[in-house]
Structure 1
Amino acid sequence: MAARTLAHGMGSFFKECEHPRHRWSKCLHPYKIRYRSSTGKQAEEGGFATQDQAISRLTEIYKEKKARPSSQARADRIQKYGSMRFQEYATEWMAGQRHLAAASVRHLESLLEHHILPALGSRRMNSFDHKVVDGFIRTMEKAHAGLATQANAFDKLRAILLDAHQLGLYAESPLTGVKPPQYDPSRAVIPSLPQLRSLREAGDDAFKLIVDLMSGCGLRNGEAAAINLNNLVADDVYRAKEQVVMSTGKYGPLKHRKAWQYRDVPLPSSVRVTIEEYAEKHGSIDGYLLRRPTDPTQPYPHWGVSNQWSRLKTAGAADIPEGMVLYGLRHFFASNCLSHGIPITDVADWMGHKNLDVTFKIYRHLMPGSIGQAAKILNMALVA
């Protein structure tokens, strides 16, 4: 009996009879195959009428063996993570988010602690489907969570569940068919120009400076708190390089940026005047203008502006529109840019948004123009 061995360790086929191999095609004895099982043990099968049938069976076994390690690995992952509680999985997932800045980590922890884990923390990972996710959104709605909070919490839940889906825990993504919370641009309350002027004159000099930097340059309040004379890189350009991180009270990198990264923003002449007047009146330390009132060696604290904002609203000392929050000063910057035809791509870059989708979601309704206006503009060029 002389067996014929196939390539790549697929095994061999043979006949247990007295006929030589070149006579097998004429012989009526059945073919048999020999191969190594997935455990490494030698195995045999018989009863194949033709050589092609024997080879086909060996090929099938070979493919199964090649696919089995991947299938087994997936089965192991399902067994390990499927019964895991969401809270435990989220903790493990967070450990891998090493790219996040300290402020982003704090924001993520807050969303988990106050919104996601109370609703889903004890749920096992293999129990998630689109109904569970949709139920979570409805839970936030019933709790009257702000739409921005709903959107942020959903984004974090989505990231965690997509990670689990990539591990193979779900045959179909539990996010399929789920309608995410929609941020309502009308909720972004923007002050008018007279209201902005009222605001900037109502607080102290530090408050006025921060109001001007947020509304005139689009800086976040933490970035405005880190204002530095050395970053006035041109008469009309300010280079934002750092922020006062809320969680540490120290200087740190910009949101969505590494320590060495920066972004240049437009510097209106009126804002530059406010900066220069503050520097002349209060001086600076290593270029920094705003410092902790009780300890000038420390950065300006977040509560320095938020406390004043609360006092002004309570006392009615400024014309603050109903529903406006401090972040409305950034909304004013975006509105001012877009209403004067500045491209939204530039606005997104100046505001430091992670991607353009964020800017479109919040501010697209502020962009001037309509299809009718576009048709008129295009026609002007065509008939010129």
Structure 2
Amino acid sequence: MATRALARGMGTFFKDCEHPESRWSKCPHPYKIRYRNAAGNQAEESGFATQDTAKDRLLKIYNEKKSQPQSQARAERIAKYGPMRFEEYAREWKEGQRHLAASSIRHLDSLFEHHIFPVLGSRKMASFDHKVVDGFIRAMERAQAGVATQSNAFDKVRAILLDAQRLGLYAESPLEGVKAPQYDPARAVIPSLNRLRALRLGGDDAFMLLVDMMSGCGLRNGEAAAVNVNNVVADDVYRVHEQVVHSTGKYGPLKHRKAGTYRDVPLPARVKATIEWYADKYGTIDGYLLRQPTDATKPYPHWGLSNQWKRIKEAGAVEVPEGMVIYGFRHFFASNCLGNGIPITDVAEWMGHRSIDVTFKIYRHLMPGSIGQAAQTIDAALAA
């Protein structure tokens, strides 16, 4: 009796008769198959009229055995997590978010406590579908939560449900068809170049250094407060790898980044000159230029910048554009880059945004060009 083996682990097919394999196609006897079942025991089946039907049956058995462990594991996960309350699952999920800074964890806890758990906390994980998620959004609308808060809360719920879907809890995404809250940031108020020059001289020397780091390198307030001469890694490159964390007053990792990560940003010659001038005039401590005025052993405090900004506005010696905040200096950096044709992908990276979508939402009105301008530019190129 001859047998024909398929790929390793798929089994064999054969005919239990006196005819040689070369005559199987014309032999009237049925084909048989032999394989290892899920328990590892040898099994046989017969009654297959053609080779193809025998092969198809072996392939089906093989695929069923191959998928069985996965299906069993998925069933076990559904049995474990399906009855779990959303609040319990969310807290387990939070433990895995080790990349979040302390301030981001506090923000997450606040969203859980005030907006997410009161609506979804007791709901069983297996009960989620698009109607439940849409009802959550409507509940926030009825509670008159700000659109930014709605967007942030929805993002967290979405991340948690996608995590559950990856575990196999849902055959279809419970987010399918749900319209997310649309947060459209207010248009940034940006100082003109002349106004920027006047404002940077409106405070003390520390204020001028901070303004230069924000407007020239695109740094956030806390990142600028951690300015360090050792971060000048080239004549035109400044390396950002830490910030003064607002909530703790200590040096910590960058926003949305793990400790030890960094980003390199452009270092204009004028900003580099300001760093060197300040270091020569006041000296440094471990390379840091700015320290707490009343205690040089501590980092520069967040209130140092805000107090000076308040005094400048109250003094009225320099006109501050209506609606401008301290972040306007950082907005100036983005405006300067985009207005001079630097790709928004580069600007997003230098500013430390998690996604280019964030950059686009805030600064899309600054991007040069329109459909009309694009048509003229393309037409000029075609006519050349």
Count the aligned residue pairs: 374
1:219 aligns with 2:219: yes
1:259 aligns with 2:260: yes
Name the SS for the 1:175 alignment partner: coil
Q: CA deviation at 1:56?
A: 7.0
Q: Which residue number in structure 2 is paired with residue 232 of structure 1?
A: 232
The one-letter code matched in structure 2 to 1:89 is Y
* CA-to-aligned-CA distance 1:86-139 (integer Å, 9 cap, x gap): 222122222223344555445444444444334322222112222222333344
TM-score between both structures, scaled by the size of structure 1: 0.77
Equivalent-residue separation in structure 1 for 2:378 and 2:218 (angstroms): 32
Name the SS for the 2:152 alignment partner: helix
Q: CA deviation at 1:151?
A: 3.4
Name the SS for the 1:238 alignment partner: strand
* CA-to-aligned-CA distance 1:294-329 (integer Å, 9 cap, x gap): 321111123333455566668878644554443333
Matches within 5 A, 1:49-128: 63-128=63-128
The one-letter code matched in structure 2 to 1:351 is M
Q: CA deviation at 1:219?
A: 0.3
CA contact 1:129–1:175 (8 Å) conserved in 2: yes
Distance 1:87 1:305, change over 3 A: farther
Distance 1:178 1:195, change over 3 A: farther
* CA-to-aligned-CA distance 1:164-207 (integer Å, 9 cap, x gap): 11111111111111222333244433344565456545544433
Name the SS for the 1:78 alignment partner: helix
* CA-to-aligned-CA distance 1:189-236 (integer Å, 9 cap, x gap): 334456545654554443343233212321011110101123334554
Name the SS for the 2:332 alignment partner: helix
Q: Which residue number in structure 2 is paired with residue 153 of structure 1?
A: 153
- List alignment gaps of at least 5 residues for structure 2: 20-26
The one-letter code matched in structure 2 to 1:266 is L
The one-letter code matched in structure 2 to 1:183 is Y
Distance 1:261 1:34, change over 3 A: closer
- Over the residues paired in the alignment, what is the CA RMSD in angstroms? 4.1
Equivalent-residue separation in structure 2 for 1:142 and 1:333 (angstroms): 38
The one-letter code matched in structure 2 to 1:344 is I
Equivalent-residue separation in structure 2 for 1:51 and 1:235 (angstroms): 77
Distance 1:57 1:371, change over 3 A: closer
Distance 1:54 1:71, change over 3 A: same
Q: CA deviation at 1:6?
A: 8.7
Name the SS for the 1:161 alignment partner: helix
Distance 1:113 1:316, change over 3 A: farther
Q: Which residue number in structure 2 is paired with residue 171 of structure 1?
A: 171
Name the SS for the 2:169 alignment partner: coil
Name the SS for the 2:238 alignment partner: strand
Q: Which residue number in structure 2 is paired with residue 350 of structure 1?
A: 350
The one-letter code matched in structure 1 to 2:120 is L
Equivalent-residue separation in structure 1 for 2:56 and 2:348 (angstroms): 59
The one-letter code matched in structure 1 to 2:262 is Q
More deviation, 272-281/240-249: 272-281
CA contact 1:240–1:265 (8 Å) conserved in 2: no
Equivalent-residue separation in structure 2 for 1:237 and 1:61 (angstroms): 61
Q: Which residue number in structure 1 is paired with residue 24 of structure 2?
A: none
Q: Which residue number in structure 2 is paired with residue 330 of structure 1?
A: 330
Matches within 5 A, 1:39-54: none
Name the SS for the 2:119 alignment partner: helix
The one-letter code matched in structure 2 to 1:358 is V
Distance 1:45 1:179, change over 3 A: same
Name the SS for the 1:91 alignment partner: helix
- List alignment gaps of at least 5 residues for structure 1: 15-19
Matches within 5 A, 1:339-378: 339-378=339-378
CA contact 1:243–1:253 (8 Å) conserved in 2: yes
Distance 1:31 1:295, change over 3 A: same
Equivalent-residue separation in structure 2 for 1:377 and 1:13 (angstroms): 72
Q: CA deviation at 1:81?
A: 0.8
CA contact 2:10–2:59 (8 Å) conserved in 1: no
CA contact 2:83–2:126 (8 Å) conserved in 1: yes
Q: Which residue number in structure 1 is paired with residue 303 of structure 2?
A: 303
Q: CA deviation at 1:77?
A: 0.8
TM-score between both structures, scaled by the size of structure 2: 0.77
User: What's the % identity of the aligned pairs?
Assistant: 67
Distance 1:115 1:322, change over 3 A: farther
Name the SS for the 1:83 alignment partner: coil
